[in-house]
Structure formats: C-alpha cells, structure tokens
Amino acid sequence: MKLAWKGKNRIVRVPDHVVPLVRELMRLYPEGPIFRNYRGRPFTKHQVSQRYKTCIRSINRKAGRVVVRESVTPYSHRHAFVTRCVRGNKNLMALCELQAAADVQPRR
C-alpha cells in the first residue's frame, strides 16, 4: 500500500489479509491517522513507545531470554534495517523508496 506521511509517500508492506482492514480504517478516518487508541484518538508518541516496549518484553518472555534489548526503538530498528541492506549490497533505489528518502546521499 502506498501512504502519505509527513508530506512523504511511503510504501507499506502489509499481508493480503490485512489490506481490507486498512482500507476500512482509511474510509473511517480519511483525514488520518488510521490507527487510534480505545478512545478513538490518534496514538500519542508515548502510547506507541509503551506498546513497542510491551511487544519487546513479550518477544523476550516467549524466547526465554533477551532477544531484543528494551532500549531498542522503532527508529533504531529502521536504521539497522537500512544498514544491513546497504552492507548486503541491496538495491539502493528500492531501499530509498521503502524509506521515503529524498536522496541516496549518505549522511555524515
């Protein structure tokens, strides 16, 4: 699915069975954002952070060991993904499209 976020177009890969749900949420909330808390309001940064940490704790508990450090953030996961792709000589243009990057110049 192609979505606009912060003035940038992003391609978001979602499983086929989730597409109808996302389309319905987009119909219900055409002004966005589509993911809301139980009160029907957009998630705050704090709520997203707390849910992320809950997921990490659940992963670690199910694994019976620390698989993902709790200090990891969505941004650090995104950065690690990009770093691995670049080191693995993946298609940089496709990577830029996935990340909604304006250019392919490395930041220093």
Helix (H, G, I), strand (E, B) or coil at 3: strand
What pLDDT shows up at residue 3? 61
86 dihedral zone (left: phi>0; alpha: psi -120 to 50; beta):
alpha
Instruction: Give me the DSSP letters along 5-34.
Output: ETTEEEE----GGGHHHHHHHHHH-TTS--
What pLDDT shows up at residue 66? 92
pTM, 2 dp: 0.59
The predicted-structure confidence for 15-52, as pLDDT tens digits, reads as follows 899 999 989 988 998 887 888 888 988 888 889 889 88
